[in-house]
Amino acid sequence: MKLLHISDLHIGKRVNEFSMIEDQKYILRQILTIADQQQADGVMIAGDIYDKPVPSAEAVQVFDWFLTELADRGKKVYAVSGNHDSAERIAFGAQLMRGRGVYVSPVYRGETAKYTLTDAYGEMNIYLLPFIKPAVVRHALEGLTDTDADFTQEEVLSDAAEKEKSSKVLPRSCYETEKSSKVSLESCYETEKLLKVLSESCYETEKPSKVSPESYYDAVKIAIERMNVDTSKRNILIAHQFVTGAGRCDSEEVSVGGLDNVESEVFDAFDYVALGHIHSPQFIKRETLRYCGTPLKYSFSEADQEKSVTVVEFAEKGNIQLSTVPLVPLRDMRRIRGTYLEVTARTFYQEFNKEDYVQVTLTDEEDIPDGLQKLRIIYPNLMRLEYDNSRTKQSHMIERAEDIEQKSEQELFAEFYELQNNQPMNAEQAAFVAQLIAACKEQDK
């Protein structure tokens, strides 16, 4: 069984106000070609299909075209919603799409969708877990608990009614017994009380206990526990969460304080975990707990990365072969640096595609008038222009308290001036400051 692992398509995304839709169509065509060349049985999409919960009509059309192309090729699709997606919108039409071999995660309501495949090595289970938060799992479990509690209560009340009927016969039964065996009515009354207590105790025992996840780790752990994974079989999980230890980049959403962290151990029951959410390709602790990364670069912090599709080949349990196929974008994302004269020289830019998305950092001491517009004549897809010179640099130095106390006012002011202006005072300025400090001291006397 061979499956492709992709994630974080972010269809409809704009980077620095540039639409990426043309680039996304191009890279999705390339993924279709790879699926054909690799003779893949299916494609796993680990969330963030769209860039927004309410995607544009064009973005929806692009994904619809991609799914149709995969279905027409006979490739199964297993997809989950991510934190950028609307779980409800992704799940729309899920039952209809199953008929074409496209399986998407439903909205999480306490159960995770599971699909079983069979090959020469037996059964293999694929679980589709959408992006979940503690509140989502809490709400789902509360709904299940309320339903279960109502059902249990009806059962118990019915059972109690039957017991009450039989208990009403007890006094007469006991009276008949009393004539022959001298049993008192008081003991019969005690028996009836005991039955009532037992009935109440039974009801309390049958009430389900409520579980309330407080963290992302708790939420994912509970969701996985409810899957009842059979570890004797091959199991795959497709999920969209942040696993502790993964490296981030600038194009990702970050939760303050690492609140969305999930420990890797929670996924131990699975032979392969196809993860989405992190844009850089990497694995966590074991190669089969893997982020495939985005198919395109969405920030300049990713400029040096090579994007790829992960190919996962499953044999018998415990035997998984991993490989990657590089993706070549329509336009690359690159950073260039130098003076204005350097970056506009033909010898500088003739070696790469001028249509690439670029960030230019100029090292000129003075700003170039209309620099952005002038540079776009050569680099039409210039996304960002920055300057790096003595005026823009900032050095941050923390002095120890005792060192500061040993310096004179003149020295402290000189350091402050250099910190603010990124250059030292000249002789005339130093003389003026010395004169000013002396005058202030004289007044203090």
For residue range 323-370, what is the model confidence (pLDDT) as tens digits?
A: 999 999 999 999 999 999 999 999 998 888 889 999 999 999 888 899
Mean pLDDT of 30-51: 96
Mean pLDDT of 225-235: 93
Whether pTM > 0.75 for this model: the answer is no
User: 């503690």: which residue's tokens?
Assistant: 134
Q: Where are the beta strands (DSSP E) in 327-418?
A: 333-338, 357-362, 382-387
Q: What is the pLDDT of residue 177?
A: 42
pLDDT category of residue 248 using cuts at 50, 70 and 90:
low
Mean pLDDT of 46-67: 95
Q: What is the pLDDT of residue 394?
A: 58
Cβ neighbors of 101 (< 8 A, separation 6 or more) are 42, 71, 74, 75, 76, 77
Task: Name the burial class of residue 24, with classes exposed (0-12), middle (13-18) and buried (19+) by CB atoms within 10 angstroms of its CB.
Answer: buried
For residue range 129-183, what is the model confidence (pLDDT) as tens digits?
A: 999 999 898 888 887 655 444 443 344 334 444 444 444 444 444 444 444 444 4
For residue range 270-316, what is the model confidence (pLDDT) as tens digits?
A: 999 999 999 889 999 899 999 999 999 999 989 999 999 999 999 99
Q: What is the pLDDT of residue 424?
A: 81
Cβ neighbors of 295 (< 8 A, separation 6 or more) are 6, 8, 9, 24, 27, 28, 31, 307, 309, 327
Flag whether pLDDT at 128 surpasses 90: yes
pLDDT category of residue 108 using cuts at 50, 70 and 90:
very high
Flag whether pLDDT at 11 surpasses 60: yes
Nearest Cα residue to 62 out of 96, 32, 101: 32
Distances (CA, A) of 215 to 67, 111, 237, 411: 34, 19, 20, 52
**How large a percentage of the chain has pLDDT more than 90?**
54
Task: Calculate the average pLDDT of the chain.
Answer: 82
Classify 80 in phi/psi space as left (phi over 0), alpha (psi -120 to 50) or beta.
beta
Q: What is the pLDDT of residue 77?
A: 96
Mean pLDDT of 18-29: 96
Mean pLDDT of 47-72: 95
Flag whether pLDDT at 44 surpasses 60: yes
Q: What is the pLDDT of residue 440?
A: 83
For residue range 379-436, what is the model confidence (pLDDT) as tens digits?
A: 999 999 999 887 777 543 444 444 565 677 888 888 887 766 667 888 888 888 888 8
Q: What is the pLDDT of residue 294?
A: 95
Flag whether pLDDT at 22 surpasses 80: yes
Flag whether pLDDT at 118 surpasses 70: yes
Long-range interactions of 314-320: CB distance < 8 A, separation 24+: 314/1, 314/2, 314/3, 314/119, 314/121, 314/124, 314/234, 314/236, 314/271, 314/272, 315/121, 316/121, 316/122, 317/121, 317/232, 317/233, 317/234, 317/271, 318/271, 320/271, 320/272, 320/288
Flag whether pLDDT at 263 surpasses 80: yes
Flag whether pLDDT at 252 surpasses 80: no
Q: What is the pLDDT of residue 3?
A: 96
190 or 33: which leads in pLDDT: 33
285 or 259: which leads in pLDDT: 285
